């Protein structure tokens, strides 16, 4: 029985690549140093997979920045502004595209399907001339071969590459990148021929767009592309890999019908319907199924017994030599190695598997299918599954009951928003176009040091509290001086908006090295939600109460919402995500009500990541939005009319979910928008009625640039064209945590001045 891994994390078990990249970018080390670190990482991964016994080991899944950018280099599609004059693409041009250079900003980056990984969006146009311009795939193949490891080179497939691209600068927005298919295929043919010449017998083409709702002409493009490639290549087998969801039935038909494709990779963790399609229709003779049963998107140990029985069903219908055990997607989206977790207890660890452990699971399953079951491995896995299932750390009957009771009820505030806003205004006495900020203020090195030392128990609680309170007082005073209307305490006690809450909630665990690449050298370390969630005691009341005591102006309580906590964590897989979300919602509800009881009249519940969790397939989106929005409403349905609930959202692609946003029924929403005014305003121009308060960010906090008063005033005017003045708020587009006071102060001065100017004009 053969085994396969779709792809592997690049960062290294201790983020070695991150540090090597950043040191190179800072000019502190040489290109050769960086290359050496990269080489060592690749080498150790290949050796690890080879010694574990993986049959099909991937190569070219390493990347210095991003695999889509690597493909842009492969086909030589460098946007003209980066000044590339041909030849093999090196670090200079490559990192200019990724990070910008002195003359040009970086290329756009966007989310890779529904993961937290971001890829660099290719920019194409009618003048794009493709040519083979990077031999990285061949070099990596040869590098592995020299180590005695024969690998399967992995490329982003040509159709997905074009579907993920956008028209470049100066190109008509209606330009179809897919129209370039015939000119990109020769480059794929060339690179695959070179791989074959180097000795490769398989090549893996990743075509994850096949799981989306594709129109028929896009499916035709697959037929065309693989028809051309297959007909012109011989002696090398093509594995077409899909992942992240079910393959829709029509796409499935197309894929299995591709004559020259020898094998198809499917995600069987998220692809229940794909499994039924395979069971129902089988696969054409000779085609091999790469069955992705080990989850590439999560950190849980596989249920080996369940996977084995699924695999046995597949081999019974397809035959043993036509099933290869695989991962559901690249392991890029999970943590690297459990071995480096010294602080998690043994029981919890037994429930987990990071990338290195998942490789062993794949092999164990393949061996078991071949009749060589590692009894010890299987029985310790079964014991861990059983302990997880029955553990009192996981199961809290009271929480489960409360969460169950939520179903069937809508949890809406009793009074309509227009009336609530009037009631609130009687107490808040806000001017028209009220000003506020999103929550965090700059986090100085000193502040980070204080938090770190308190955590390490190097300073006493008393001293810590004093330091944080001093920071809150400073931020509060500054906002009064700036004459901001609704204040924030600045979040100095928080390292991260999810971690801060996770650490105080039951059911969460934190890793030391469970990093996952987000983009380039940037990694995130999601908390692990392993059990039923509850809140042992208040989490923010102490600080918010103190902050409010310093001022007569309203001080916003500041919470992270349940959907965002969920979407930025590794979530348990033994119950629906919605159930976990409801549990978190109940915990946040308790906090909201405690804040209200403590005299906090304005409470912001951030749902920065609500949009991010939207399922890929349209069919599943309504269900998600329904429980996500419901969870948000649960948190605040119990407050008085006079308590004003704010929410905040990042990223501006809301047009398609605007009705869900309205259904959240917050009193005020602040949203990131400063990079796409037009898009957002179009919704309202098109007639969507928004009766609640709304604060589309008036300046971009992601840039150090200080906008002047007139520029901000102009943007407010534009918004006033489509929104009523009584609903409009004035605020930056996100938290100020990553900025410096030298930038924040003048920007906020200009923002308040602009608001005042507009008030005078109204």
Binding annotation for 5-methyltetrahydropteroyltri-L-glutamate: 18, 116, 522-523, 568
- Can residue 588 be called a binding residue for ligand GLN (CB under 6 A)? no
Binding part of the chain for ligand GLN, among 307-315, 498-506, 513-521, 729-737 by CB under 6 A, reads: 729-737
Binding part of the chain for ligand GLN, among 99-107, 438-446, 709-717, 754-762 by CB under 6 A, reads: 438-446
Task: Choose the catalytic residue: 281, 427, 623, 702.
Answer: 702
Binding part of the chain for ligand GLN, among 22-30, 69-77, 228-236, 733-741 by CB under 6 A, reads: 733-741
> Quick one: how far is CA 61 from the chain centroid?
19
- DSSP reduced 3-state for 163: helix
User: How many angstroms separate the Cα of 664 from the Cα of each of 293, 567, 637?
Assistant: 36, 17, 10
Identify what 247 binds: ligand GLN, Zn ion, none; CB under 5 to 8 Å per kind: none
Binding-site residues for Zn(2+), in ranges, read 648, 650, 659, 663, 672, 734
Instruction: Give backbone dihedrals phi and psi of 223, rounded to 5 degrees, phi first.
Output: -60, -45
Residue 268 or 558 having the CB closest to ligand GLN: 558
- Can residue 603 be called a binding residue for ligand GLN (CB under 6 A)? no
Identify what 439 binds: Zn ion, ligand GLN, none; CB under 5 to 8 Å per kind: ligand GLN
Q: Say if strands 2-3 and 323-327 run parallel, antiparallel, or are unpaired.
A: parallel
- Can residue 737 be called a binding residue for ligand GLN (CB under 6 A)? yes
Q: How far apart are the C-alpha atoms of 481 and 464, rounded to whole Å? A: 26
Instruction: By CB under 6 A, name the one of 242, 440, 569, 674 that touches ligand GLN.
Output: 440
Closest C-alpha among 86, 34, 104, 87 to residue 63: 34
Of the CA atoms within 13 Å of residue 713, those in its CB half-sphere come to: 16
Q: Say if strands 237-241 and 202-206 run parallel, antiparallel, or are unpaired.
A: parallel
- Can residue 650 be called a binding residue for Zn ion (CB under 5 A)? yes
Identify what 497 binds: Zn ion, ligand GLN, none; CB under 5 to 8 Å per kind: ligand GLN
Binding part of the chain for ligand GLN, among 134-142, 164-172, 184-192, 433-441 by CB under 6 A, reads: 433-441
- DSSP reduced 3-state for 574: coil
Q: 694 CB contacts (<8 Å, ≥6 apart)?
A: 668, 669, 670, 671, 723, 727, 728, 729
Q: Which of residues 129-148 bind ligand GLN (CB under 6 A)?
A: none
Residue 349 or 737 having the CB closest to ligand GLN: 737
Q: 172: exposed, middle or buried (C-beta count within 10 Å: 0-12, 13-18, 19+)?
A: exposed
- Can residue 698 be called a binding residue for Zn ion (CB under 5 A)? no
Tokens 């087998």 belong to: 237
Residue 122 or 732 having the CB closest to ligand GLN: 732
- Can residue 648 be called a binding residue for ligand GLN (CB under 6 A)? yes
Give the tokens for residue 258. 């591709």
Binding part of the chain for Zn ion, among 24-32, 317-325, 650-658, 745-753 by CB under 5 A, reads: 650-658
Within 10 Å of residue 317's Cβ, how many Cβ atoms? 14
Cβ pair 584, 566 in contact under 8 A = yes
Site string for ligand GLN, 444-483 (x = CB under 6 A): ----------------------------------------
Instruction: By CB under 6 A, name the one of 13, 157, 271, 439 that touches ligand GLN.
Output: 439
Q: 313: exposed, middle or buried (C-beta count within 10 Å: 0-12, 13-18, 19+)?
A: middle
In DSSP notation, 66-84 reads: -HHHHHHHHTT---GGG--
Residue 122 or 492 having the CB closest to ligand GLN: 492
CB of 702 to ligand GLN, least distance (A): 11
Is 623 an active-site residue?
A: no
Residues touching ligand GLN, count (CB under 6 A): 13
- Can residue 606 be called a binding residue for ligand GLN (CB under 6 A)? yes
SS3 per residue for 371-415: CCCCHHHHHHHHHHHHHHHHCCCCCCHHHHHHHHHCCCCCCCCCC
Q: How far apart are the C-alpha atoms of 203 and 58, rounded to whole Å? A: 9
CB of 658 to Zn ion, least distance (A): 18
Identify what 364 binds: ligand GLN, Zn ion, none; CB under 5 to 8 Å per kind: none
Residue 264 or 438 having the CB closest to Zn ion: 438
Burial 429-447 (b: 16+ CB within 10 A, else e): ebeebbbbbbbbbbbeeeb
Q: How far apart are the C-alpha atoms of 161 and 75, rounded to whole Å? A: 10
Instruction: By CB under 6 A, name the one of 608, 637, 664, 666 that touches ligand GLN.
Output: 608
Q: How far apart are the C-alpha atoms of 609 and 640, rounded to whole Å? A: 26
Q: What torsion, rounded to 10 degrees, do the Cα atoms 312, 317, 319, 321 define? A: -70
CB of 612 to ligand GLN, least distance (A): 11
| Residue of minimal Cβ distance to ligand GLN | 735
Residue 152 or 734 having the CB closest to ligand GLN: 734
CB of 605 to ligand GLN, least distance (A): 10
Q: How far apart are the C-alpha atoms of 15 and 515, rounded to whole Å? A: 8
- Can residue 734 be called a binding residue for Zn ion (CB under 5 A)? yes
Cβ pair 296, 6 in contact under 8 A = yes
Instruction: By CB under 6 A, name the one of 240, 497, 728, 751 that touches ligand GLN.
Output: 497
Helix (H) and strand (E) counts in the chain: 27, 21
Instruction: By CB under 6 A, name the one of 256, 438, 541, 634 that touches ligand GLN.
Output: 438
Identify what 440 binds: ligand GLN, Zn ion, none; CB under 5 to 8 Å per kind: ligand GLN
- Can residue 734 be called a binding residue for ligand GLN (CB under 6 A)? yes
Residue 301 or 558 having the CB closest to ligand GLN: 558
CB of 562 to Zn ion, least distance (A): 17
- Can residue 735 be called a binding residue for ligand GLN (CB under 6 A)? yes
Q: What is the CA radius of gyration of the chain?
A: 27
- Can residue 650 be called a binding residue for ligand GLN (CB under 6 A)? yes
Identify what 606 binds: ligand GLN, Zn ion, none; CB under 5 to 8 Å per kind: ligand GLN
CB of 738 to Zn ion, least distance (A): 11
First-residue to last-residue Cα distance in the chain: 75
CB of 606 to ligand GLN, least distance (A): 5
Residue 283 or 608 having the CB closest to Zn ion: 608
Identify what 58 binds: Zn ion, ligand GLN, none; CB under 5 to 8 Å per kind: none
Closest C-alpha among 667, 671, 542 to residue 611: 671
In the complex, the residues that contact ligand GLN under the rule CB under 6 A are 438-440, 491, 497, 558, 606, 608, 648, 650, 734-735, 737
Binding residues for Zn ion, rule: CB under 5 A, are 608, 650, 734
Instruction: State the catalytic residues.
Output: 702
């Amino acid at each position: 029985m053969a085994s396969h891994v779709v792809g592997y994390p690049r960062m290294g078990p201790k983020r070695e690549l991150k540090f090597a990249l950043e040191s190179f970018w800072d000019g502190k080390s040489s290109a050769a140093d960086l290359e050496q670190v990269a080489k060592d990482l690749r080498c150790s991964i290949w050796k690890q997979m080879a010694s574990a016994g993986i049959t099909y080991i991937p190569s070219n899944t390493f990347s210095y920045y991003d695999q889509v950018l690597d493909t842009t280099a492969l086909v030589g599609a460098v946007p003209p502004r980066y000044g590339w004059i041909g030849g093999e693409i090196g670090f200079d041009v490559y990192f200019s595209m990724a990070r910008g250079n002195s003359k040009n900003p970086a290329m756009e980056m966007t989310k890779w399907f529904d993961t937290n990984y971001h890829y660099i969006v290719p920019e194409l146009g009618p003048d794009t001339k493709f040519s083979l311009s990077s031999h990285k795939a061949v070099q990596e193949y040869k590098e592995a071969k020299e180590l005695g490891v024969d690998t399967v080179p992995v490329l982003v497939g040509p159709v997905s590459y074009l579907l993920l691209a956008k028209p470049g600068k100066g190109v008509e927005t209606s330009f179809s990148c897919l129209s370039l298919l015939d000119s990109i295929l020769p480059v794929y043919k060339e690179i695959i021929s070179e791989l074959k010449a180097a000795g490769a017998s398989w090549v893996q083409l990743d075509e994850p767009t096949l799981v989306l709702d594709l129109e028929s002409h896009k499916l035709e493009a697959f037929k065309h592309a693989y028809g051309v490639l297959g007909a012109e290549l011989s002696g090398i087998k093509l594995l077409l890999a899909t992942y992240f969801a079910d393959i829709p039935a029509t796409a499935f038909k197309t894929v299995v019908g591709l004559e020259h494709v020898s094998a198809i990779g499917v995600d069987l963790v998220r692809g229940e319907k794909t499994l039924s399609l395979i069971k129902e229709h089988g696969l054409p003779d000779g085609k091999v199924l790469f069955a992705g049963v080990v989850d590439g998107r999560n950190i849980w140990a596989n249920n080996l017994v369940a996977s084995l029985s699924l695999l046995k069903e597949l081999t019974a219908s397809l035959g043993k030599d036509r099933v290869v055990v695989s991962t559901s997607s690249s392991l890029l989206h999970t943590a690297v190695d459990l071995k480096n977790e010294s602080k998690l207890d043994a029981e919890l660890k037994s429930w987990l598997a990071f990338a290195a452990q998942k490789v062993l699971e794949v092999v164990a399953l393949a061996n078991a299918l071949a009749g060589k079951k590692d009894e010890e491995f299987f029985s310790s896995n079964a014991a861990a599954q059983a302990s997880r299932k029955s553990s009192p750390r996981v199961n809290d009957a009271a929480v489960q009951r409360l969460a169950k009771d939520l179903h069937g009820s809508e949890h809406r505030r009793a009074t309509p928003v227009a009336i609530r806003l009037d009631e609130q205004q009687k107490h808040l006495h806000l001017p028209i176009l009220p000003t506020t900020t999103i929550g965090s203020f700059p986090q100085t090195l000193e502040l980070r040091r204080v938090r770190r030392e308190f955590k390490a128990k190097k300073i006493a609680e008393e001293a810590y509290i004093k330091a944080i309170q001093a920071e809150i007082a400073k931020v509060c005073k500054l906002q009064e001086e700036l004459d901001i209307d609704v204040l924030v305490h600045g979040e100095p006690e928080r390292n991260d908006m999810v971690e801060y809450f996770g650490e105080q909630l039951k059911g969460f665990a934190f890793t030391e090295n469970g990093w996952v690449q987000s983009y380039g050298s940037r990694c995130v370390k999601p908390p692990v939600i392993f059990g039923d969630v509850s809140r042992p005691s208040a989490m923010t009341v102490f600080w918010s109460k103190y902050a409010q005591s310093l001022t007569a102006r309203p001080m916003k309580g500041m919470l992270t919402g349940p959907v965002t906590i969920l979407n930025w964590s590794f979530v348990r897989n033994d119950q629906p995500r919605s159930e976990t979300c409801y549990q978190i919602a109940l915990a946040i509800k308790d906090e909201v009500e405690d804040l209200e009881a403590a005299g906090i009249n304005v409470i912001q519940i951030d749902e920065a990541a609500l949009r991010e969790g939207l399922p890929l397939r349209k069919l599943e989106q309504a269900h998600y939005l329904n429980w996500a929005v419901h969870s948000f409403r649960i948190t605040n349905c119990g407050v008085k009319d006079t308590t004003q609930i704010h929410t905040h959202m990042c990223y501006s692609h809301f047009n398609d979910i605007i009705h869900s946003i309205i259904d959240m029924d917050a009193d005020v929403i602040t949203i990131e928008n400063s990079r796409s005014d037009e898009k957002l305003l179009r919704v309202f121009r098109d007639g969507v009625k928004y009766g609640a308060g709304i604060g589309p960010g008036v300046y971009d906090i992601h840039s150090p640039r200080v906008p002047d008063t007139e520029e901000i005033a102009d943007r407010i005017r534009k918004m006033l064209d489509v929104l009523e003045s009584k609903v409009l708020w004035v605020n930056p587009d996100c938290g100020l945590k990553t900025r410096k006071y030298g930038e924040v102060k003048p920007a906020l001065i200009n923002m308040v001045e602009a608001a005042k100017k507009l008030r005078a004009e109204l």
